[in-house]
Amino acid sequence: MLALVQRVLRAQVTVDGTPVGAIGRGLLVLVCAEQCDTELQSDKLLAKILKLRIFADAQEKMNLSLQDLVKAGIPAGLLVVSQFTLAADTSGGNRPSFKAAAAPDVGRRLYDYFVTHARLTHPIVETGVFAADMQVELVNDGPVTVPLRVSPASL
């Protein structure tokens, strides 16, 4: 599975002019299931995201995770948005190929699994709408943007 994680001051997803998910301080996570991905990759990716130390500590070093903020009583959200275009391959020319992305039914199942487990392990989880035309607004903090990949070969 792939993710693009952005540390944000706030983020919001809108569908057809209606906000469907929003957070204040936290992480905006664009997530993509690839062919051959399973729940195991989803679990590993979620664990990595929740423990990713990209928030500043008292010395202004990126040393705290989303979980650390919550343990310290600081509200910090997770906004999860499906993003199959993370699987884009442009090696064959200027038009991206998305053949590495999971089929839509598999992608939806793994996205739903990811969100369900995120909600079981983190107190503030908002989402977009799978396969919808979404508008995502964010204020990237830093900016800090980190790409992550958990593939079957990396397990």
Active site residues: 83-85
User: Quick one: tokens of 38?
Assistant: 């399973």
CA-closest candidate to residue 85, choices 95, 72, 73: 95
The Cα 72–Cα 42 span in angstroms is 26
What are the angstrom distances between the C-alpha of 96 and each of 48, 69, 101, 106? 28, 38, 12, 21
